[in-house]
Homo-oligomer: A and B are copies of this chain.
Amino acid sequence: LKMDPDALAKAFVEHYYRTFDTNRAGLANLYQEGSMLTFEGSKVQGAQAIVEKLVALPFQQCQHVISTVDCQPSGPASGVLVFVSGSLQLAGEQHALKFSQMFHLMPIPQGSYYVFNDIFRLNYA
């Protein structure tokens, strides 16, 4: 099954943020040992360390609202780059936080994809 990059990016983004907002620990399935996350400048590597970082963020309930999704093929290894902008509403906070995030998705032999690169930044107004 070969999805076109736009359809893949859209499906991935919906799945990723729905999982983040409802069952953050479930994101572990989307990363592998070589995966990297840079979250607000802080770097961690490997699925376990990445999910520990995400689960330990200082907020529990949150809701991501996506504004834009752009994607491009990343080269001969059949990866896909996904670039997201949106806002993050934290429970009990009046104003949503704007963010930008990029993912580099790499194919796995079983026909799906995992997140190899993940970089997240809040966009301060």
Contact = CB atoms under 8 A, between A and B. Distances in A.
Contacts of A36: 72-73
Interface in A29-80: 36, 38, 41, 43, 67-68, 70, 72-77, 79
Interface residues of A, number: 29
A85 B106 contact: no
- This protein's copies in its complex: 2
B121 A38 contact: no
A4 to B, nearest CB: 13
A74 B116 contact: yes
Contacts of A117: 72, 74, 81
Contacts of A119: 70, 72, 81, 83, 102
A43 B121 CA distance: 24
A76 B102 CA distance: 19
Given A74-B74, A74-B116, A81-B117, 11 more contacts: A41-B68, A41-B70, A75-B79, A75-B104, A81-B81, A83-B119, A83-B121, A98-B123, A100-B121, A100-B123, A102-B119
